[in-house]
Structure 1
Amino acid sequence: MTGVMRRFSAALAAAAMAVSIVPFADISAYAEYAATHPEGFVYADGSKFMCDGSPYYYGGTNCYYLTYKSKSEVKNVFDDASKMGLKVIRIWGNLDVGKKTGEIDSQSGHETFEGNNDGTGEKDGVYFQYWDDEAGKPVVNEGEDGLRHLDYIIKQAEEHDMKLVITFTNYWEAFGGMGQYVKWYQMSQGKSVGNSKVDEKDTCDFYTNETIKGWYKDYIKTLLNHTNYYTGEKLMDSEAVFSWELSNEPRCTVDEFCKDDILYNWAKEMSAYVKSIDPHHMVSVGDEGFYNLGYQEAARQDLPSSAYSGYYGVDFDKLMTIDTVDFGTPHMYVDQWGFDLGDDDLEWIKRHAQTTSSADKPIIFEEFGLTDKTKRDAAYSDWLDIVTGDYYEGVEYQGFNYWMIASYLDDGTLYQDYDGYTVYGPEGIEKTDSTRTLMMNAAAKMEKKNIVNTTDKST
């Protein structure tokens, strides 16, 4: 039985007690509800998340390396996250490379590619899309060294009763990202391209070039209709998917002050496209939450200019007006953005919650980090107090995903803390154990908000 049929059957079985489960006056109303909200799927209801008619608050994390590591290394992360009480992991659903060379690297034993936007392109021999000269377009690799890695992550999420935020691409060059699409277009025009990242100006062609947009839509369609090797379900039928995300941290600096609404128009078109294929899962933009107030207004309010002025071509207020975007996803890196601790950081978190509340949409604190470990616990404590609703009256988030969890590799060592933000999942890692405890306590606070229906729906 497929996932959709199983959930529909469960909905029909539950319909007999619909009056005691959900506030509908008749069975037909409940049937309509069940058809638009499949069992186990999280959905936005005003400014809240709901799942099976109950509130859904969560604590979670990010982990980009899951998509290319071994099964045991993937399982290590899920085991650790489960022990921490985390419910949602945000992962990369993209890993794009250039064109096959037909050669094998003598040291790694992996297939090699040329025209990559990110170094050698593949990660430990894994890649999701590559350029095919004969087809004249990018081709999806659904095999053992491709999407089957994503399939296994979804399987682990289901087994651990967890959910996933899955991105479609990346603004940055890591894992290929938008720049790889630009390189593919250059290849289609017969241009010679090397293994170096596309500059920022050319990256923004991703949002407006119709051929590139078509390739991006093709990938979305293939991914959503891809059948999971381990579960037999299409990805769009999986309750382990929390939401689809258009991109990691999209920006468009060539459209300063959003004068042409480049990012807004792209997000509106692409979120509607995702919903046209998969109307049941939520969609988010994945942006950092930058505002478009203009330099003068940012200065008048004494706000950090780059994050609030419109410099990055992002207008968080306007993005939240898109009907097919379900919730807000602000990020925050105070040491990269020049924010003052105890001032700019608190205002940033509060303001975004107020913005989404006005738009009647939920919000998650999707990425955040601080490298200074002498200040980190105190700062995280303040931030998480806001997120969990214990700092400003009437201000709360529906979820958070700290950057980032990591665990043990197959050789017994810990995955390296490359960016300085890692909070390790295993207990007893001295350098991050106190921060790990903070995350666990905040996740427990969020879980306590979930008043779940007690009716036994299997009856």
Structure 2
Amino acid sequence: MLVLCAGFLGSGRASPTKLAVPPGFVTTNGRIFELDGKPFNFVGANSYWLPLLTTPDDVETTFQGMQNQGVKVVRTWGFNAINGSELAGAIESGLTYYQIWNSSQWVLNDGPQGIQRLDNVISTAAKYDIRLIITFTNNWVGYGGSDLFLNWMIGANATHDMFFTNKDVIASYQAYAKTIVERYKESSTVFAWELMNEARCASDTLPSGPDCVPGSNTLNTWYKEQSNFVRSLDPHHMITTGGEGMFFWANPPIITSNDSSSTDFNFNGEAGEDFELDLHLPNIDFGVYHMYPQTWYPQLDFPGSNFSVEDWGLFWMQTHADNNKTTVYPTWTRADENLYCVLQRASPNDGLAIYQNQTSVVDIFTNAAKVMSERNR
């Protein structure tokens, strides 16, 4: 079982630089979300691939199905970048691409195979009364993430953490984020801006350097700088980190399996995140956390392990909130008031998908959506 679920945690305080929001915009009020003065509880979908769909019919069918299941919020990519050498193949295949890299700076594609597809996703989401979390870039190599900036701007000597510290790279990231924010900042369909998908000191293609280690606060400094920048462009929409929710604890939990024990990397600061510190940044409106229990901990549910998948998932949720999907998911959905998980249709099979024909699993989230909707009355 491979799972990506993410929960939302309100920061418990009002952002000092976010103004009262216009009608139709979702905002925070202490530890809850509100829409036009009423609680806004929801179940959602992590459909990062939506703008990559090549036909409006696929986008329409996807949102229609989500609405039927009670989905209210969808997280999706606001980026997809390619190298110039890939351009001919992209045009031939119909691939969505927003940025082209041929030199030390990207070029925006605002044509029908580019940002206009994100325009369509946003307008279709509005038609079905679904709001979007839009992510600006990726920690990982997939979809032309942060390492593409580093490959073109720094070159062979790059380490991944330079994405968070190099002034030229940061300026290039901000230029792209500004393009997206200014295009959609008047839209109430935008639920929130997400700074980066799963920021870590290292990526899957580049290692970390010595300046991004437990306690260095490299990611926290970057989150602060970028959330302040986005807030300067958009006083109304919420902003979140996009992180996995990893902690930096002096005494991290120990995972035991087959008579061997190890410090849990989700708690020892190894990845670079400090969830509790990040949540107190003035322009981070709510926290997010991801969990991939059987990817992170393949030893769970086997003899000698001191956690089961179900127990670890509950522990992870409870920590953030102060082998059978149909068994585990109901427990998890009851534990988290604002939950979104992978619900996929016309999408790549990345091993994390829940498809419509998996009715016993889909029913869990459909029923949870009904419960959330009742809480909004």
TM-score, normalising length from structure 1? 0.70
> What letter matches 2:188 in structure 1?
E
Is 2:35 the partner of 1:80? no
CA contact (8 A) 1:264 1:319 kept: yes
Is 2:376 the partner of 1:447? no
Is 2:377 the partner of 1:438? no
TM-fit CA distance, 1:311 = 1.2
Structure 1 partner of 2:175: 218
Compared with structure 1, are the counterparts of its residues 109 and 220 closer, same or farther at alpha carbon in structure 2 (3 Å cutoff)? Answer: closer
Structure 2 partner of 1:261: 217
The CA distance in 2 between the partners of 1:99 and 1:376, in whole Å, is 42
Is 2:293 the partner of 1:334? yes
The CA distance in 1 between the partners of 2:120 and 2:225, in whole Å, is 30
The CA distance in 2 between the partners of 1:35 and 1:257, in whole Å, is 35
CA contact (8 A) 1:256 1:311 kept: no
Compared with structure 1, are the counterparts of its residues 240 and 125 closer, same or farther at alpha carbon in structure 2 (3 Å cutoff)? Answer: same
The CA distance in 1 between the partners of 2:245 and 2:278, in whole Å, is 9
TM-fit CA distance, 1:258 = 3.0
Compared with structure 1, are the counterparts of its residues 78 and 300 closer, same or farther at alpha carbon in structure 2 (3 Å cutoff)? Answer: closer
CA contact (8 A) 1:256 1:310 kept: no
The CA distance in 2 between the partners of 1:298 and 1:422, in whole Å, is 29
> What letter matches 1:438 in structure 2?
I
The CA distance in 1 between the partners of 2:275 and 2:19, in whole Å, is 31
The CA distance in 2 between the partners of 1:58 and 1:52, in whole Å, is 15
Instruction: Give the counterpart of 2:343 among 404, 410, 415.
Output: 404
TM-fit CA distance, 1:131 = 2.3
Structure 2 partner of 1:277: 233
The CA distance in 1 between the partners of 2:280 and 2:265, in whole Å, is 22
Is 2:47 the partner of 1:63? yes
Structure 2 partner of 1:138: 106
The CA distance in 1 between the partners of 2:249 and 2:100, in whole Å, is 40
Instruction: Give the counterpart of 1:346 among 314, 319, 322.
Output: 314
Q: Which runs of no fewer than 5 residues in structure 2 stay unpaired?
A: 1-17, 203-207, 301-307
Structure 2 partner of 1:170: 138
Q: Deviations over 1:130-155 (max 9, x none)?
A: 1254xx52121111111001000001
> What letter matches 1:442 in structure 2?
A
Structure 2 partner of 1:321: 280
- Percent identity (aligned): 30
Question: Size of the alignment, in residue pairs?
Answer: 339
Structure 1 partner of 2:191: 242
TM-fit CA distance, 1:424 = 2.0
TM-fit CA distance, 1:309 = 1.0
Q: Deviations over 1:309-352 (max 9, x none)?
A: 11111110110110100001111111011153232211111110
Instruction: Give the counterpart of 1:209 among 160, 163, 166.
Output: 166
Is 2:248 the partner of 1:292? yes
Compared with structure 1, are the counterparts of its residues 109 and 213 closer, same or farther at alpha carbon in structure 2 (3 Å cutoff)? Answer: closer
Over alpha carbons, which structure has the higher Rg? 1
Compared with structure 1, are the counterparts of its residues 300 and 424 closer, same or farther at alpha carbon in structure 2 (3 Å cutoff)? Answer: closer
Structure 1 partner of 2:8: none
Compared with structure 1, are the counterparts of its residues 40 and 304 closer, same or farther at alpha carbon in structure 2 (3 Å cutoff)? Answer: farther
TM-fit CA distance, 1:35 = 6.9
SS in 1 for 2:343: coil
> What letter matches 1:435 in structure 2?
V
Q: Which runs of no fewer than 5 residues in structure 1 stay unpaired?
A: 1-33, 111-122, 194-198, 227-234, 355-371, 388-396, 408-414, 452-459
CA contact (8 A) 2:294 2:309 kept: no
Is 2:353 the partner of 1:422? yes
CA contact (8 A) 1:87 1:163 kept: yes
TM-fit CA distance, 1:257 = 5.1
Q: Deviations over 1:346-403 (max 9, x none)?
A: 111111011xxxxxxxxxxxxxxxxx5xx1111101101111xxxxxxxxx3x21102
TM-score, normalising length from structure 2? 0.84
Compared with structure 1, are the counterparts of its residues 241 and 418 closer, same or farther at alpha carbon in structure 2 (3 Å cutoff)? Answer: same
Bigger relative CO (Cα 8 Å, ≥ 6 apart): 2
Structure 2 partner of 1:252: 201
Instruction: Give the counterpart of 2:80 among 95, 100, 122.
Output: 95
SS in 2 for 1:258: coil
Give me the CA root mean square deviation: 2.4
The CA distance in 1 between the partners of 2:254 and 2:96, in whole Å, is 47
